[in-house]
Structure 1
Amino acid sequence: MDMENEMGIAIKVEKDTDFIRQSVQTRLLMGTITLGDAVRRLRTEVSKLSQDDFAKLCKISRRTLGQVELDRGNPTMQTINLILEYFDLAICIRPRYRVSNRPTSPAPGSR
C-alpha cells in the first residue's frame, strides 16, 4: 500500500472516531445513553480492545471496567476519568437541561 492510501485510511479512521465520540457525547447529554453504554461503545468501536486489554491500559481491574459498562457499582470520578482519558474525554459539570416547565429555584441568598 502506498503512502497516499495509508494517509487516506488514517483520515477516514479519525473521522469515524470523531463521529462516534460526538455521537456518544450527544447521547449522554440528552440522556438517551447511560455512562456504561457510552464506555462500552467507545471501548468496542473506537479502541477495539477487549475488556482485559482496555482495563490494563487504564490501570483498573477488568471487574471494575465490567461494572462500569453494566452501570453497576459506584465508581469514583477518578476511575471514570481514567477510562475516558484514552478517548480525550473527561467528566465535567454542566448546566442541567430543563425537561419540564417547572420553575427553577432561586439561588440561595437571592431573595
Structure 2
Amino acid sequence: MKLYEDLAADGLRIPDLVKSLRKMLAKDQPGFAKQVGISLATLRKIEQDRGNVTMDSVRKILDRYDLDLVVTVRKKS
C-alpha cells in the first residue's frame, strides 16, 4: 500500500498521514472522525494543519491503526 511505502521511505507529516489514511480506508471526514473518536472539527484542523490540536486527538488516530509517532530532523529544501 502506498501509505505504508511512504511511511517506510521518508515518513509523512501528520496532516498528510491522516488524510492519506482516511482516503485509503475510503472514509469521508465525518465517518473517519466518528470511527477514531474525535470531532469533525478536530479532524479538519489536523488535515489542514491548522489550529492547536491536542496530542490526545492525534494519539486516538494513531492508536486506532497501530501507528507510532516518531520525530525526525527536517530535510533542508
Q: Is this a same-fold pair by TM over 0.5?
A: yes
Cα contact 1:67–1:73 (8 A) shared by 2:
yes
State, as a whole percentage, how many aligned pairs show the same letter.
30
TM-score in terms of structure 1 length: 0.57
Q: Which runs of 5+ in 2 are unaligned?
A: none
The equivalent of 2:19 in structure 1 is 40
Deviation readout 1:23-59 (Å, 9 max, x if unpaired): 135333xxxx5321221011101x2111101101111
Given the alignment of the two structures, is residue 88 of structure 1 paired with residue 71 of structure 2, yes or no? Answer: no
Runs of 4+ in 1 over 4 A off after TM superposition: none
Report the CA distance between 1:97 and its aligned residue.
6.4
Given the alignment of the two structures, is residue 27 of structure 1 paired with residue 10 of structure 2, yes or no? Answer: yes
Change (3 A) 1:26 1:72: farther
Give the distance between the partners of 1:55 and 1:67, measured in 2 at CA.
12
Change (3 A) 1:75 1:26: farther
Cα contact 1:43–1:54 (8 A) shared by 2:
yes
Larger RCO (CA within 8 A; separation ≥ 6):
2
Q: CA RMSD in A?
A: 2.2
Cα contact 1:68–1:75 (8 A) shared by 2:
yes
**Structure of higher CA gyration radius:** 1
Q: How many positions carry a matched residue from both structures? A: 76
